[in-house]
Amino acid sequence: MLMSRTPALRRSALAASALAAALALSACSPATGSGGSGEGLNVVATTTQLADFAHQIGGEDISLTGLLQPGASAHHFDPSPKELVALSQADVLIMNGAELEGFIDSAIEASGFKGTLITAADGIDLAEAKEITAEGELEAETGEAPDHAGHDHADHADHDHADHGAHDHEAASADEAHEGHEHGHEGDEHDHDHGDLNPHIWTSPRYAEGMAAEVARGLAQANPAHAADYQKRAADYEAQLHTLDGWVAEQFERVPAADRVLVSGHDSLRYYLHDYNIAYAGAIMPSFEDNAEPSAAELDALSAKIKERGVKAIFVESSMSPKLAKTIARETGITVVDGDALYADSLGTADSDAETYIDATLHNTRVILEAWGVTPGPVPNGLGETA
């Protein structure tokens, strides 16, 4: 046990030393943000998706720093001294949760962060997410797609986006937020086993609604003076996510069920696939991770499933190399979609059409539809930069 903890402890010690040096160089100057005016709350968000949620909801009332940059993966991330400085000076830290950020405990310890911790996963039904994860694993093993008819997009019509009562958690102090907070990733040298929960919860727009509501609740708790502003922006943003969910559902309803079968680089789209009744034939990487090494037997088995289920294309995520996908494509005779990669672990850069969560979801939906030979319908007015 002692030996298994040594790498994490060493990283923590090195990070603490680097942080001390960086703090001395910074002369305690305030952290610079990317989404605010420099006044109000200093907010740090772990993933690119969470940084976008925070920007949409916090507006000019926060100064925002994102730890992960476009193209980066939270599965394999170590914060730099500069990022630890930003965390040390933050009033709020927004994390995904759902067992994603294995680096977060050591980062909090090394930086000395004492602010409000917002866990976006607290805004969704994690018991349901575990069921969906189990369904995906069973489907990949047996080839039998579960019935997802229970998710009726029409049921969202009565959803009051301004009512966050379902996420009305009792306020906690900064000390209470950290006390006894177990992330369960210490000492794993980034070889994560996410167990029975796929951490990519943001890929479902309906889950993104709950995550946004949780971000708004946490920001309002941290800065009550701007609570009404946060809640108003959150209501507007959740309404957009609701519209996005409905549009994506309508697009995939136009695709014959037999053609709605997807293979991806790794199992990063589980909740998206579930919500839109898309069958999951498997992934190149044999886990939720994006750099796991598949065996030859696993690649052969996936190739057999591709042929058996008539899969039309392999979709590569932006954070992954297309090399293995191209190898499988040569063996199976199908198309590799890598020029327009899917954005799952990360949003795109400023010059992409996937800089925001909504734009990335629109992009992913268009790319999948076009690879399946279906022309996407028009996007509702005002939804995304490319609408």
What pLDDT is attached to residue 214? Answer: 98
Domain membership of residue 137 as a residue range: 128-151+255-371
Specify if 385 maps to a domain.
no
Give yes or no: residues 175 and 235 share one domain. Answer: yes
What pLDDT is attached to residue 71? Answer: 77
Position 6 pLDDT exceeds 60:
no
Give yes or no: residues 241 and 363 share one domain. Answer: no
- The half-sphere exposure of 188 on its side-chain side, counting CA atoms within 13 A, is 19
Report which of residues 127 and 195 the model is more confident about: 127
Give yes or no: residues 112 and 136 share one domain. Answer: no
Tokens 């009562």 appear where?
165
Average of pLDDT values for 107-120? Answer: 96
Task: From 299, 304, 282, select the one nearest 136 (Cα to Cα).
Answer: 282
CATH code for the domain of 84: 3.40.50.1980
d(C-alpha 338, C-alpha 198), whole Å: 23
Report which of residues 160 and 233 the model is more confident about: 233
CA distances from 32 to 47, 85, 145, 348, 366 (A): 17, 10, 47, 21, 35
Average of pLDDT values for 296-307? Answer: 91
Determine the 3-state secondary structure of 144 from DSSP: coil
Give yes or no: residues 294 and 184 share one domain. Answer: no
What pLDDT is attached to residue 127? Answer: 96
Read out DSSP for 143-191? --PPP-TT--GGGGGG--TT--GGG-PPP--HHHHHTT-----TTSTT-
Specify if 379 maps to a domain.
no
Average of pLDDT values for 109-116? Answer: 96
Give yes or no: residues 161 and 303 share one domain. Answer: no
Confidence of residue 355 (pLDDT cuts 50, 70, 90): very high
Specify if 97 maps to a domain.
yes
For residue 208, what are its two tokens? 């993104």
Give yes or no: residues 219 and 104 share one domain. Answer: yes
| Mean pLDDT rounded to a whole number for the chain | 80
Side by side, which strands form the sheet with 41-45?
62-66, 41-45, 92-95, 116-119
Give yes or no: residues 238 and 342 share one domain. Answer: no
* Dihedral of alpha carbons 319, 205, 153, 139, sign: positive
The residues pairing with 95 across neighbouring beta strands, listed in sequence order, are: 119
Give yes or no: residues 297 and 360 share one domain. Answer: yes
What pLDDT is attached to residue 288? Answer: 61
Q: What is the pLDDT of residues 40-94, one digit of tens each?
A: 899 999 999 999 999 999 999 999 999 998 877 777 788 899 999 999 999 999 9
Position 170 pLDDT exceeds 70:
no
Number of domains forming the structure of the chain: 2
